Amino acid sequence: MNATSHKIEKLSSLIEVGTLINSTLDLSELLGLIMKIVEKVMECNVSSLMLIDEAANELVFQVATGETGGTLKEKFRLKIGQGIAGWVAEHNEPLLVKDVQKDPRFYSKPDESTGFITRSILCVPMRVKEKIIGILQAINPVHQEAFCEEDIEIFMAFANQSAIAIENARMHKEMMDKQRIEQELDFARQIQETFMPDVLPHLKGLSVFAHNTPAREVSGDFYDVLEFSPKEYGVVFGDVSGKGVPSGLYMVKTISAMRFEANKDTLPHVVLDSVNKSLSLKPQFGMFSTMFYMIFNLQVQTVTFSNAGHIPPLLVDHKKKTLEEIKEAQSSPLGIFSEVTYTSHTIPWTDSKEILLFTDGIIEARNNKKEEYGFPRLENVIKKNYGHPGLSKQILDSVHQFVGDAPQHDDMTLVSIVCS
């Protein structure tokens, strides 16, 4: 077979090759397939494929054939510009080296490490829309001493086909990874939601409203309502540091510990002390929780509470038209220091009063101008709605109207308790 016929045969085979390398979207399988085809089409002893690590500005061996291939993949990276492959990546053009021993660009350490002897290299860039994603190398042709100029065209055509297939496989993997993460986050969200009451219990003498809007798929804010007796109820409200899955998992840990300790029917500060010691036994780096815990005793008309570092709730007296922060019994957040002193405080609870608990996602909500909603706006809404049965909803409407279509940057949670 003459040189022209041989070239035509190789070019024709690229049509079949294109179909073959696009037959799989599994990246690992695809890379191995590409290397097998390289050796067949280019009729070489050894071949290698390197992809560009843009963050490190390096070429990373992905697949290398032959007895030394595994060693190359495990040990070697090349800086852009280093060696023949690095030169090709830097200059974005193919390079044929008939005798590597006469070329100063040749990087000999792989040969020295493996014992392999490189004679001739044909190295070409792998391009997608003129962007180089990697390098293909054919090493030591089988039937001749060196590659020839005619081999460059064929190898470039194959490299471009391979680059598109690799990019498609990468995009497919990213899409599948994204779907998997979204499914896992959705599952995590469903699990987390089971730890907060979906429907608040009907409490005789106490009306509770709760609203939670996570900034991400999983929230770090939490609330719970506990019924100890027909006349005694507990309300838990808190906020875990951070956002997303880590804070969501820490929230589950916190509220589980809280429920366990609260069932012992003790004063709020004793419960918080026990929860804090539990969380401090195995502290999570950078994680902590604020919490406001109160017990309503409708028999004697009192509410007893303790505050572990949370924003002071607001006590609204609709009859007297007054608003004040509940600043008593404040101490440190849970899970930071094991030796913390918590205290409880008791105030009267009458049918004209309402307690509003909220996380910083409410008062720090931002609009498109990066302005914060702020406490003055919250205070103004409350004062305009003294005696209004739907105060909490008025607050939420005010926040949403202020924020508009600006992206939410923190979890937003609001709970109100009214003596009914």
Is residue 33's pLDDT more than 70?
yes
- Specify if 182 maps to a domain: no
Are 155 and 238 part of one and the same domain? no
Cβ atoms of residues 313 and 360 within 8 Å: no
Residue 323: inside a domain? yes
In this model, does residue 407 exceed pLDDT 60? Answer: yes
Residue 181 lies in a domain: no
Q: Quote the pLDDT of residue 212.
A: 85
Q: Report the pLDDT value the prediction gives residue 71, as an integer from 0 to 100.
A: 43
Residue 175 lies in a domain: no
Res. 384: pLDDT tops 70? yes
For residue 178, is it within any domain? no
Domain around 47: 3-170
What is the model's pLDDT at position 399?
94
Kindly state whether residues 280 and 369 are assigned to the same domain.
yes
Average pLDDT, the chain: 84
- Asked whether residue 142 is assigned to any structural domain, the reply reads yes
pLDDT tens track for 76-91 = 788 999 999 999 999 9
- pLDDT-above-70 percentage for the chain: 84
Give the mean model confidence (pLDDT) for residues 356-381. 92
Summarised one tens digit per residue, pLDDT across range 41-69 is 888 888 889 899 888 888 888 866 655 44
Q: Are residues 191 and 336 in the same domain?
A: yes
> Do the domain assignments include residue 409?
yes
Average pLDDT rounded to a whole number, residues 385-411: 89
The string of DSSP codes covering 276-343 is HHHHHHSPPTT--EEEEEEEEETTTTEEEEEEESPPPPEEEETTTTEEEE--SSEEPPBTS-SS----
pLDDT digits (tens, 9 = 90+) for 5-26: 555 555 555 555 666 666 777 8
Lowest mean pLDDT among 275-289, 337-351, 353-367: 275-289
CATH number at residue 37: 3.30.450.40
For the segment 276-301, what is each residue's pLDDT rounded down to a tens digit? 998 888 766 678 999 999 999 999 99
Same domain, yes or no, for 65 and 202? no
Contacts with 341 (C-beta within 8 Å, 6 or more apart), sequence order:
273, 331
Backbone φ and ψ of 292, nearest 5°: -120, 120
Per-residue pLDDT tens digits for 242-251: 766 777 778 8
> Is 388 domain-assigned?
yes
Q: SS3 for 140?
A: strand
Q: Are 350 and 419 in contact (CB under 8 A)?
A: yes
* Confidence band for 256, pLDDT divided at 50, 70 and 90: confident
Domain tally, the chain: 2
Let me know whether 131 and 242 are in one domain.
no
> Does residue 35 sit in the same domain as residue 94?
yes
Residues 252 and 370 grouped into a single domain: yes
Do 259 and 216 sit in the same domain of this protein?
Answer: yes
Identity of residue 255: I
What secondary structure letter does DSSP report for 408? P
- Least confident segment among 141-155, 213-227, 305-319, 358-372: 213-227
Q: What's the CATH number where 378 sits?
A: 3.60.40.10
pLDDT at 170: 85
Same domain, 151 and 251: no
